[in-house]
């Protein structure tokens, strides 16, 4: 479904009809046949409320959306909306303040100093002013209960606490237990009514780090170039969400307050709640806590200045370290025009993953490494965007020509009318699937509010799209898709990115164990607790023998008419590398009866998806989609698996593409760190990353042998798992009829094992990579899986190293402003024969790395003991268990995970029992045993000339690794 913040938004020029529910005491606006069953309500102060009930789990996805974003940033203060988003986590004059009378004048003086600072050009004077800001900030920090907002919502059992800013929206998100709704509202209503810019300069430094991270992203830089060319007269293109470096270095607290006062008014805000809620009680609570929020003047809408017509292709060039790619976009009219829906539909005709023109003509035929299309719609304009990654030896110009060729095919009508019907069918299927997930529903609802669209537009969206004919699509394409596009070529090459230097910041005080009077009062409000439900695999999974040697695991879907049918083999690439290659080959093959395009189209027309995936230890053969197509789809699926037809040309292209992806991985910092270096650190030279088929081995393989492996797959021992609305007896009958197996099934090939490296000393592995930031990871191996560690690890991660209110985040980012991202976790392996690891991460500027690592090492040696923060983490962890029952298909996957760890019963009940009696001393013992005093392998990715190698040498023996060493090719 494309109705999300990152995808298209919709327009239907039809009258808005409203039905009023008689089920509730409140007059909710509803829309007939709404797939999300949204209830709309508006308070007298203009605050809009959208509710959608989902009783699957006792939690609610909470979203507070403000109808403003970087589009509305003042031209002289770009990045303001985004920075304001950061500051809303700092509290108010009540929340987070230990002594407002003393703190307030200091914050006012800091604000005055910033005004002076940004108006001063002399660098020496600026440094002196900043030193005063730093000094005042330290004094003010003495009166702050740091991270109080985060600590309170964490204590509620919240998860996913965050926020985001984009062109036209700022949204604050979390997921909370239903029973804590009122306490959540107490906190949120307080922080949205007042802005307090405390701990300003340390948070600004975190935004500096975020800015530097964008400088290292080739994708981000290419997208910026695209928007600049598409919208030269509009803030979509003239200013980015992160802002310019110059503006970030010269902030104005006065301007931020003015912006807050203008846009953060209830009549410009919506509360979107999706989950297990009582609509009437929820509105009563919102009225109680948000009803007194004073209505403001409705902000004036941005005046679109219009854009110059694009009469010929505009081509931009961007360089960077990552693999080459191109993106291309057409600019059409915005959300209040028919262009938005047309662009959405056209993007699916081009690229829907299976049967679009790009899918069949470029991806399935492997003429490029990857190509795609999607649509975005905003208030003023929409974009139809295409992208392509070239194959080895293919220029960007050649790949671009192939991509543009699909636009020509579209304009010539080289697709059938049935494709449009299938697109609607599959989009409704996706809508049904996403309706199961609270966050997905909330995302679409947010769109409706941000663009001020009556909800009927969204509820009826695909019904209206279904009325669009092929002729209308072709006509629209010929009218709008000419040589009026912007093309950005992202080539490999040096780039001289702007780097925001680290200012001189003195660590601010962290006042652990101290609460504001607001929090003390808040904590007197009774906190509710739920009774946890622990899945019982013996009762919640039904088992039956399809055959004497084939077991069916069955979990009913009581939510909708979707299913998934899985054939599961307990062997993967570690058992048979050629089998894994065969699985990779299958999506490019047809059968003796159908071509690959025909078979993909058949699945798509039925509203089905099929996938075959080979992991390290398991192969999954999966069919999913509309249950009404289960029988026909299973027959087709079995036809594909039994009669797959090898194709030499497709195999040659597959290997060429596979080798190109290997080359591209060596250009990607995430692949370097998380695949290459981590495997090298854990296993040494012989790792799952390096133990791969060589180019010579790959090219020597006979494609017919790979086809035979697919055909013979079901001759191995395996099991079947079905989740869906069909009765178990009907599924059994289907499996017996369509999936017969031999009386004797084969055992799996032996699983290859890799030895862990000895960690007898501290070692530093370094890879030179051209980027502004430096990334460092610390790894230390613990014992093999020990279920006794699971509860303590969960609480430790929440208390110490993971999340906004954790010790690590507070110390390294909040207090010292040494990193944008920092965490430390104790991992739990997925298999009983694998080890726990301590993993810590820092993403920081090169000149701050030494100080950041020192801070992390100090924490990893001496765990700060703060009883109140520990209790908050402990209660939060227990509430997570209490309100996150294992349901639906996850029941089976949880069972499989439990078996992999050598257990037969769900361990959550035992974990919960351990948490109930856990003390700080227990956590200290866990820390002393598993964290403190360990030898670490340090993995560092960064630009060598910017690094403090002396600081690295203090960590341990430094060794620079080559990409060939860590990737094995």
Query: Which pairing describes strands 773-784 and 608-614: parallel, antiparallel, or unpaired?
Result: unpaired
SS3 content of the chain, % helix, strand, coil (to 5): 45, 20, 35
pLDDT of residue 642: 95
For 868-903, b where at least 16 C-beta lie within 10 A, e where not — what string? Answer: ebbebbbbbbbbbbbbbbbbbbebbebbbebebbee
> For the purposes of burial, counting CB atoms within 10 Å of the CB of 668, is it exposed (0-12), middle (13-18) or buried (19 or more)?
middle
pLDDT digits (tens, 9 = 90+) for 721-760: 999 999 999 999 999 999 999 999 999 999 999 999 998 9
| 8 A C-beta contact, residue 541 and residue 551 | no
- Say if residue 804's pLDDT is above 90: no
DSSP letter (8 states) at residue 676: I
- Mean pLDDT is lowest, of 262-271, 634-643, 798-807, for 798-807
Q: Where are the alpha helices (DSSP H) in 588-745?
A: 596-605, 630-643, 648-665, 669-670, 678-683, 695-700, 703-711, 728-738
Distances (CA, A) of 115 to 120, 196, 479, 501: 9, 17, 51, 20
How far is residue 843's CA from residue 851's CA, in Å, rounded to a whole number? 12
Reading phi first (left if > 0) and then psi (alpha if -120 to 50, else beta), residue 923 is in alpha
Of 246, 289, 384, nearest in space to 327 by CA: 384
pLDDT digits (tens, 9 = 90+) for 603-654: 999 999 999 999 999 999 999 999 999 999 999 999 999 999 999 999 999 9
- Return the structure tokens found at 619: 């192969």
Assign 962 a pLDDT band (cuts: 50, 70, 90). Answer: very high
| 8 A C-beta contact, residue 206 and residue 251 | no
pLDDT digits (tens, 9 = 90+) for 518-558: 999 999 998 888 999 999 999 999 999 999 999 999 999 99
Region 284-309: what's the mean pLDDT? Answer: 96
pLDDT of residue 22: 54
- To the nearest whole number, what is the mean pLDDT of the chain? 93
Distances (CA, A) of 237 to 226, 233, 299, 312, 566: 8, 7, 22, 19, 46
- Say if residue 11's pLDDT is above 90: no
- Say if residue 12's pLDDT is above 70: no
pLDDT of residue 18: 36
- Say if residue 5's pLDDT is above 50: no
Phi, psi of 673 (to 5 degrees): -75, -55
- Say if residue 2's pLDDT is above 60: no
Assign 508 a pLDDT band (cuts: 50, 70, 90). Answer: confident
pLDDT of residue 9: 26
Region 69-77: what's the mean pLDDT? Answer: 96
- Say if residue 7's pLDDT is above 80: no
- Return the structure tokens found at 956: 């341990």
pLDDT digits (tens, 9 = 90+) for 567-592: 999 999 999 999 999 999 999 999 98
| 8 A C-beta contact, residue 208 and residue 309 | no
Match 């592995």 to its residue by tokens: 765
């Amino acid at each position: 479904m494309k109705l999300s913040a990152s995808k298209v938004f919709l327009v239907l020029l039809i009258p808005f009809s409203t039905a009023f529910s008689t089920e509730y005491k409140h007059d909710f606006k509803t829309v007939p046949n709404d797939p999300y069953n949204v209830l709309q309500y508006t308070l007298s102060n203009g605050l809009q409320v959208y509710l959608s009930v989902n009783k699957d789990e006792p939690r609610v996805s909470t979203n507070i959306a403000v109808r403003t974003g970087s589009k509305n940033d003042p031209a002289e203060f770009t990045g303001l909306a985004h920075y304001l988003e950061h500051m809303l986590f700092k509290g108010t004059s009540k929340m987070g303040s230990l002594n407002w009378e003393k703190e307030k004048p200091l914050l006012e003086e800091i604000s005055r100093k910033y005004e002076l600072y940004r108006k001063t050009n002399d660098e020496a004077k600026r440094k002196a002013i900043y030193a005063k800001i730093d000094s005042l900030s330290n004094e003010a920090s003495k009166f702050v209960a740091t991270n109080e907002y985060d600590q309170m919502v964490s204590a509620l059992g919240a998860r996913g606490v965050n926020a985001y800013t984009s062109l036209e929206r700022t949204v604050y998100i979390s997921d909370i237990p239903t029973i804590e709704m009122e306490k959540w509202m107490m906190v949120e209503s307080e922080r949205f009514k007042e802005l307090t810019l405390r701990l300003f300069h340390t948070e600004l430094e975190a935004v500096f780090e975020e800015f530097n991270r964008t400088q290292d992203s080739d994708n981000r830089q290419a997208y910026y170039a695209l928007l600049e060319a598409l919208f030269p007269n509009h803030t979509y293109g003239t200013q980015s969400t992160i802002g310019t470096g110059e503006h970030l270095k010269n902030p104005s607290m006065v301007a931020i307050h003015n912006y807050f006062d203008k846009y953060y008014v209830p009549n410009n805000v919506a509360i979107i709640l999706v989950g297990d809620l009582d609509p009437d009680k929820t509105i009563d609570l919102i009225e109680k806590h948000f009803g007194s929020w004073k209505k403001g003047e409705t902000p004036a809408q941005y005046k679109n200045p219009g854009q110059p017509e694009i009469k010929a292709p505009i081509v931009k060039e961007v360089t960077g370290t990552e693999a080459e790619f191109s993106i291309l976009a057409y600019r059409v009219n915005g959300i209040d025009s028919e262009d938005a829906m047309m662009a959405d539909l056209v993007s699916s005709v081009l690229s829907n993953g299976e049967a679009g023109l790009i899918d069949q003509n470029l991806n399935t035929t492997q003429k490029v490494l990857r190509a795609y299309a999607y649509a975005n719609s905003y208030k003023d304009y929409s974009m139809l965007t295409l992208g392509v990654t070239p194959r080895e030896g293919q220029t960007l110009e050649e790949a671009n020509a192939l991509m543009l060729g699909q636009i020509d095919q579209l304009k010539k009508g080289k697709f059938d009318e049935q494709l449009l019907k299938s697109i609607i069918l599959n989009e409704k299927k996706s809508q049904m699937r996403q309706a199961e997930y609270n966050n997905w529903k909330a995302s679409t609802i947010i769109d409706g509010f941000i663009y001020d669209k009556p909800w009927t537009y969204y509820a009826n969206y695909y019904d209206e799209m279904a009325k669009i004919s092929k002729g209308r699509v072709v006509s629209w394409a010929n009218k709008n898709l000419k040589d009026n596009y912007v093309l950005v070529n992202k080539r490999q090459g040096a780039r001289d990115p702007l780097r925001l230097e680290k200012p001189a910041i003195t660590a601010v005080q962290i006042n652990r164990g101290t609460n504001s009077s607001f929090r003390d009062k808040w904590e007197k409000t009774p906190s509710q607790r739920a009774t946890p439900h622990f899945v019982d695999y013996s009762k919640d999974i039904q088992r039956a023998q399809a055959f004497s040697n084939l077991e069916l695991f069955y979990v009913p879907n009581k939510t909708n008419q979707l299913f998934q049918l899985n054939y599961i083999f307990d062997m993967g690439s570690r058992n048979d590398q050629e089998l894994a290659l065969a699985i990779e080959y299958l999506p490019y093959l047809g059968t003796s009866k159908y071509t690959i395009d025909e078979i993909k189209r058949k699945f798509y027309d039925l509203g089905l998806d099929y996938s075959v995936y080979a992991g390290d230890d398991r192969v999954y053969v999966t069919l999913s989609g509309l249950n009404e197509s289960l029988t026909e789809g299973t027959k087709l699926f079995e036809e594909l698996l039994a009669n797959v037809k090898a194709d030499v040309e497709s195999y040659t292209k597959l290997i060429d593409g596979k080798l190109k992806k290997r080359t591209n991985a060596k250009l990607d910092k995430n692949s370097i760190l998380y695949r290459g270096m981590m495997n090298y650190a854990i296993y040494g030279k012989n790792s799952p990353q390096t133990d791969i088929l060589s180019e010579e081995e790959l090219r020597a393989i006979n494609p017919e042998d790979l086809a035979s492996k697919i055909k013979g797959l079901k001759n191995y021992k395996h099991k079947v798992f079905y989740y869906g609305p069909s009765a178990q007896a009907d599924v059994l009958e289907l499996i017996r009829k369509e999936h017969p197996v031999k009386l004797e099934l084969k055992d799996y090939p032996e699983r290859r094992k890799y030895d862990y490296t000895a960690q007898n000393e501290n070692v530093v592995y370094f890879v030179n990579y051209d980027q502004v930031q430096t990334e460092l990871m610390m790894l230390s191996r613990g014992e093999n899986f020990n279920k006794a560690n699971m509860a303590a690890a969960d609480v430790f991660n929440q208390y110490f190293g993971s999340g906004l209110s954790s010790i690590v985040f507070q110390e390294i980012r909040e207090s010292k402003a040494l990193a944008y991202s920092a965490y430390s976790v104790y991992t739990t392996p997925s298999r009983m024969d694998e080890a726990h690891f301590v993993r810590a991460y820092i993403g920081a500027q090169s000149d701050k790395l030494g100080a950041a690592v020192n801070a992390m090492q100090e924490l990893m040696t001496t765990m700060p003991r703060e009883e109140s923060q520990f209790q908050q983490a402990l209660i939060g962890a227990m509430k997570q268990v209490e309100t996150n029952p294992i349901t639906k298909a996850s029941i089976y996957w949880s069972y499989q995970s439990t078996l992999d760890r050598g257990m037969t019963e769900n361990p959550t009940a035992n974990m919960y029992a351990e948490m109930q009696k856990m003390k700080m001393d227990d956590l200290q013992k866990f820390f002393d045993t598993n964290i403190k005093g360990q030898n670490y392998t340090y993995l560092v990715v960064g630009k060598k000339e910017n690094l403090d190698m002396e600081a690295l040498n203090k960590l341990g023996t430094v060794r620079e690794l080559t990409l060939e060493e860590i990737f094995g090719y």
